Structure 1
Amino acid sequence: MNILIVEDESRIAKRIKRMTRDIFGNTLQSLTHINTLQEALRFIENNSLDLMLLDLNLNGDSGFDLLTTAVSESFHTIIISAYKDQAITAFEYGVLDFVPKPFNRDRLEKALHKTISKENINSNDIKFLAVKKRHRIQLIPIEDVLYVKGAGVYTELFLTDGKKELHDKSLEKLEQLLASSFERIHKSYLLKMSEVHEIIVESGSKYIAELKNGVRIPIGRTKYKDIKAKWF
């Protein structure tokens, strides 16, 4: 695990570092602490990460200015903040968890455990997926996403208007965030179940989900019964 802590209070940062080391043990490869928004942005541009632990108030700067960029990246983000009223907004942007200050080890461990166990969020709060464009970040409303296809370490978002967008998060990471409305129907696909028009069985034990717009997506053999039951 390569982890970045973005926190402007050194006392709290030291506590987070100590707990994180204890929780991850030998699986922790690097643990970096940065206390300003601009430094954090530069670090993200030049380093590979698995997780960012982010405060929302950084010496007067808003952590959301960093969050918009972070959620478009390949790594997960967990918010650690006293601003509980901003939790819903943070989840809308696609964070893995929101740990309110003050916090104890058990609460932080629960949040960090999600990165290890690949536990799904099962939350309806996420409203956007952020994708990187040239010199900007675009927020794609979840309601505009029909299905997601794995593309190596990246994913492709297929939208209602026929367009396709590339996202830096893997299919596994997006599955964690989108579990409330999307199903993993195949090793390469996440599908919004409300878009399914028909489930088709073809010769040779081939299973197909036909969407309302006519697009056909394969269903994995081991997932067919479960997907069919959820669709009905």
Structure 2
Amino acid sequence: MIRAVHIDDEPAAREHLALLLADLAADVRLVGQYADITAGQQALEEHRPDLLFLDVEMPGGDGFELLRRMGRWDFHVVFTTAFQRYAIQAIRFSALDYLLKPVQADELRAALDRATKDKAPADAGHQEQVVDNLSADPSALRVLVSHGGRQHAILPADILYCRAENNYTEIHLQGGRRFLCARTLKDYDDMLQDRGFLRVHRSFLVNRAAVENAPSQGPLRLTDGTAVEVSVRRRAQVIEALRA
């Protein structure tokens, strides 16, 4: 049985999630719902849940502030938020889970499945990086990745390109370092498209600042000498974007 806590200042949102969980998830017991992060933090310390549904935008302190106060946590976090661009970007960069309001049944079920698979709490170093990221100015956000049993915080500007490896992504950095990450290229495309990255092929996402030469035919040439293939159907759009 998964024990869950829900923190959200909107009564309608609390009722909606409770009804969805009752209908969808016999394996989840909602042990408490709270309207602010002060009461919510007390409940987390008392109930020690496996799962926290946490609203981002609340009066008296947002969901990010709760994690900053706690510093360390041993439950899976799923943020719930209305579309708020920076909040979602910070959550994605931090490799955390989120649901858009109003929460949809299929998306909730997928989040519960992910929470079930991810029962081990993140290490203290990763959680410290998460708190730093959620506190950061948008321009200072780092991509948090797990590689080789360690957590790494990467500045988007240090990424040359990303390459798809089935359901994984290989991130290539300046200086020759690279990380194989358990997220799809689409995840990184969604995350980085507002940071100067361009999808040039189904298998490649490039940092525009790293493109040294963009010929009308043939591959792109990056600053480290890497040749990156451009798909035929994307070429005109890619060349136009790079020359803008």
Class of the TM-score when normalised by the shorter of the 2 chains: 0.5 to 0.7
Percent pairwise identity: 15
Q: TM-score, normalised by structure 1?
A: 0.58
Equivalent of 1:191 in 186, 199, 206 = 206
Identify the match of residue 216 of structure 1 among 208, 212, 227.
Answer: 227
Give the 5 Å matches for 1:174-185. 174-180=188-194, 181-185=196-200
Aligned residues: 184
The code of the aligned residue for 1:140 comes to I
Gaps of 5+ in 2: 32-43, 56-62, 111-137
Root-mean-square deviation (Å): 4.7
What TM-score, normalized by structure 2, do the two folds share? 0.55
Q: Paired residue for 1:172?
A: 186
Partners of 2:3 and 2:235 lie apart in 1 by 41
Counterpart mapping for 1:77-88 below 5 A: 79-80=79-80, 87=87
3-state DSSP of counterpart to 2:153: strand
Q: Distance in 1 between matches of 2:164 and 2:239?
A: 22
The Cα of 1:193 is off from its aligned counterpart by 1.2
Task: Report SS of the residue matched to 2:176.
Answer: coil
Query: What does residue range 1-232 of structure 1 map to in structure 2 within 5 Å?
Result: 7-9=5-7, 15-18=16-19, 32=28, 40=50, 54-55=54-55, 56=63, 65=72, 79-80=79-80, 87=87, 90=91, 93=94, 105=102, 108=103, 127-133=141-147, 136-180=150-194, 181-202=196-217, 207-232=218-243
Deviation at 1:230, TM superposition (A): 0.3
Once the 2 structures are TM-superposed, how far is the Cα of residue 125 of structure 1 from its aligned partner?
5.7
Post-superposition offset of 1:196:
0.9
Partner-residue secondary structure (3-state), 2:214: strand
Q: Say which structure is richer in strand.
A: 1
Q: CA deviation at 1:8?
A: 4.1
Larger Rg computed on CA atoms: 2
Alpha-carbon distance in structure 1 between the residues aligned to 2:192 and 2:27:
28
**SS of equivalent residue, structure 1 residue 223:** helix
